[in-house]
Structure 1
Amino acid sequence: MALGGLQIDREWIGARASILFTLVVAILSVATGIANISTAPSGPLVQYVPELVQQTVGFTGALTGFMMIASALGLRSGLRAAWTSTVVLLPVTAAQGLLQASIYSYPLVAVSGVTLPVVLLNRKHFAREVDLTATQLAAIVSLVGAQVYGTVGTYALRDEFSGSVRTLTDAFWYTTVTGSTVGYGDIYPATQRARLFGVSVLIINVAAFAVALGVLLTPAIEARLSKALGKMNESQLELLDDHILVLGYGELTEPILEELGGKAEFVIITTDSDRARSLSDRGFTVLTADPADEDTLERAKVDLARAVVVATNEDAQDALAILTARQLNPEVRIVAAATHRENVNKMKRAGADTVISPATIGGHLLVESALGSEDSEEKADRIMHEDGENP
């Protein structure tokens, strides 16, 4: 991509860059917030910002940082809501950095300013709507309901508590420390009815927290199971961009994977579940599905792919996969290997840009060598990149 006469690698402005930069902003916001709480401001703006404001944004800056971490996790899942919250919070983190009036805040302001356009440019990658399950809705309702019950009840019984319960904030504080089992002891029930109410607050809040914890752990367990079974979850699929699709698995797949390793992001699509599990255990990204199916290629973001490689032992299946990929993305580069020489032209007609017949190339080199050609081995070495240089 060209911008202002400069060539910018898509990797630095892609979806993953948005997540990484957002996470960096979150860490900087937490770190600068904590640092500015414990140190005196020393920046050039210190004389223009009231001390109370500097102290307040120090506390809220750390809080905003934790909210940014949540947004980064949401971006990793491709959620539109996370994209929206990130866009809203980035100006907030920059403003908090300025109001903290400290030299430690300069990196936060700078990185926030850089991150915002990157996130805005990648809006299309974060299109998943928040689809809450019944369990997730129950967890949210239980958490909110437990807090409301404790806060309203404590405020209604405020005269039966020892300590200072004068406002809803005091009641909320008591509910929080009771439900978290911290119990500082500054507010405690003084009557039998208030004690029974306190017990109910404790039980309800602990139960609500247990439900929420189960909801949070379930997606993580499902993700681990998906990886163990050689399957990609929807969050991983949503983040694919400028990648290479390897359709099917055959005798040439292993050399292809060796060549691609470390050079580009790639996804292998195969119907062989056993092979998919094996590849996944080796750290490869695998989608267990039909590589010639339109829905599969659409899920694998063939419209955003850099290239498509087709090299199994079934030329007919490969031709169908090529045809499907070409229909879904007329601009993508498709490279294929033909097991049988007579199928080279058929694959080109199906939509492949380049079709190579390994058997034909091998036979040609062997014949050249048999006829006394001295450079046939050198040609083979160049093809195999054994000299470490491009041919």
Structure 2
Amino acid sequence: MDSTPLRSYWQRHGGRLTVLLAATVAALSVATGVANIGARSVVGPLGQFVPEWIQRTAGFTGALTGFLLVVSALGLRRRLRVAWYATTILLPMGALQGLLQSSSLSVPLVVLSIVTLPVVLANAARFDRELSVSTSQLAAGAALVATQVYGTVGAYTLREDFTTIDTPIDAFYYTIATASTVGYGDAVPTSQAARLFGISVVLLGASSFALALGTLLGPAIEARFSRALGRMSGGQLELLEDHVLVLGYGDLTEPVVTELTDAAEFLVITPDSEQASALSDRGVDVLTANPSDEEPLQHARIDDARAVVVATDDDAKDALAVLTARDLNDEVYIVAAATDRENVPKLERAGADTVISPASIGGRLLVRSALDRSDVYDAVAQLVEE
């Protein structure tokens, strides 16, 4: 059996398969964890060995592991190395928690976790990006952690001035409930110092939570605005892999976009903002920039592109775009369309692997069809054979 197609598929889609499997395990972990939290009896092969409280605790921690796997799967989509490390740790944890839950609902989770782990390990080289954290994100994380530490230590120190705080866990619970402004009212301050401390936890907690939400929602809002304006955000560009770059947009480009829509992932780069906005409204990924500039091609991850297509109505601009693309990636396959037949050699010298002249091909098709009185598809087949 020829393994070449399987190897080719693995090389192209191994990363996406890893992300898909990790996300599926995450969903199963959350679902089975929630289902087993409220279980009243323990069943399954380990039922007689696992106490009920361990099974219910495993359900709770399994749900938490599932949420962490969701985060790591999102990190895998961005090819982050730290997300790969996290996933390799969380998958065995999820399988172990599924075993401890000892429920028939946990069987798919255990099996899929075991199957996914070798796939993640085999694709380790694909996830090679370092985590880039902005100053605002660091500040938000530090503020959030500092607030929880301050509230927990302070509440435990003042535990005699509260009604139900006796342990560090009680103090941490009080801090979470107060800082998030939930305030269940089960830990009541009984002294002036405790009340003032509670006020400080509310103010610091609300501020840190707002700062954290801002840093998380900010990129998402930016992405929505960027798409509305016909642009792609940095996060969206980082997800591109094994894609086709379409440099420029014109009358010749529209059939290319139509053909690629169901065939491969692609990105159009055009300097025309109106064209970019129209393409974006159709759901096409587009970057508003000059396709002959190096910076937008680097942002569009030309190093990871499977092919480059250049097909506008301006052969001079196409030649410059081909030159830039070839200079940035000397291995990518470049296909160009020449409006004038005389420009075919020029585009080839610029670095295009294949240059097609639509006018020349159209003329030959018309002549073949007229002389042979054959169907246009038969004429195309004859040209292909030649």
TM-score over 0.5 (shorter chain): yes
Q: Deviations over 1:137-192 (max 9, x none)?
A: 232222122222222221222222223x2222221121222222333333211122
Deviation, 1:4, is 9.9
- Once residues 379 and 6 of structure 1 are traced to their aligned partners in structure 2, the CA distance between those partners, rounded to angstroms, is 33
Q: Deviations over 1:105-153 (max 9, x none)?
A: 1211222223323333444544443333332223222212222222222
Contact 1:76–1:235 under 8 Å retained in 2: no
Q: Is 1:215 aligned to 2:215, yes or no? A: yes
Contact 1:125–1:238 under 8 Å retained in 2: no
Q: Structure 2 unaligned runs (5+)?
A: none
- Once residues 21 and 296 of structure 1 are traced to their aligned partners in structure 2, the CA distance between those partners, rounded to angstroms, is 32
Q: Tell me: CA distance 1:193–1:3, structure 2 relative to 1, closer, same or farther (3 Å).
A: farther
Q: Tell me: CA distance 1:4–1:247, structure 2 relative to 1, closer, same or farther (3 Å).
A: closer
Contact 2:42–2:52 under 8 Å retained in 1: no
* Secondary structure of the corresponding residue to residue 336 of structure 2: strand
- Once residues 369 and 81 of structure 2 are traced to their aligned partners in structure 1, the CA distance between those partners, rounded to angstroms, is 60
Match of 1:111 in 2: 112
Q: Is 1:226 aligned to 2:230, yes or no? A: no
- Once residues 76 and 179 of structure 2 are traced to their aligned partners in structure 1, the CA distance between those partners, rounded to angstroms, is 30
Contact 1:11–1:17 under 8 Å retained in 2: no
Q: Tell me: CA distance 1:223–1:11, structure 2 relative to 1, closer, same or farther (3 Å).
A: farther
Match of 2:60 in 1: 59
Deviation, 1:62, is 0.9
- Once residues 110 and 210 of structure 2 are traced to their aligned partners in structure 1, the CA distance between those partners, rounded to angstroms, is 38
Query: Mapping of 1:33-182 within 5 angstroms?
Result: 33-39=33-39, 40-163=41-164, 165-182=165-182
Deviation, 1:60, is 0.8
Aligned partner of 1:89: which letter?
L
Q: Tell me: CA distance 1:233–1:179, structure 2 relative to 1, closer, same or farther (3 Å).
A: same
Q: Deviations over 1:205-242 (max 9, x none)?
A: 12221222222221111111221222222222222222
Match of 2:320 in 1: 320
Contact 1:311–1:337 under 8 Å retained in 2: yes
Q: Which moved more, 1:278-287 or 1:144-153?
A: 144-153
Q: Tell me: CA distance 1:226–1:80, structure 2 relative to 1, closer, same or farther (3 Å).
A: farther
Match of 2:280 in 1: 280
* Secondary structure of the corresponding residue to residue 184 of structure 2: coil
Aligned partner of 1:120: which letter?
L
Query: Mapping of 1:184-223 within 5 angstroms?
Result: 184-223=184-223
Q: Tell me: CA distance 1:296–1:257, structure 2 relative to 1, closer, same or farther (3 Å).
A: same
Match of 1:266 in 2: 266
* Secondary structure of the corresponding residue to residue 348 of structure 1: helix
Q: Tell me: CA distance 1:345–1:303, structure 2 relative to 1, closer, same or farther (3 Å).
A: same
Contact 1:147–1:175 under 8 Å retained in 2: yes
Match of 1:332 in 2: 332
- Once residues 293 and 231 of structure 1 are traced to their aligned partners in structure 2, the CA distance between those partners, rounded to angstroms, is 16
Q: Tell me: CA distance 1:35–1:378, structure 2 relative to 1, closer, same or farther (3 Å).
A: closer
* Secondary structure of the corresponding residue to residue 203 of structure 2: helix
Contact 1:241–1:305 under 8 Å retained in 2: yes
Q: CA RMSD in A?
A: 2.7
Q: Structure 1 unaligned runs (5+)?
A: 384-391
Q: Tell me: CA distance 1:348–1:379, structure 2 relative to 1, closer, same or farther (3 Å).
A: farther
Match of 1:352 in 2: 352
% same residue: 59
Aligned partner of 1:250: which letter?
G
Deviation, 1:8, is 6.3
- Once residues 94 and 219 of structure 2 are traced to their aligned partners in structure 1, the CA distance between those partners, rounded to angstroms, is 29
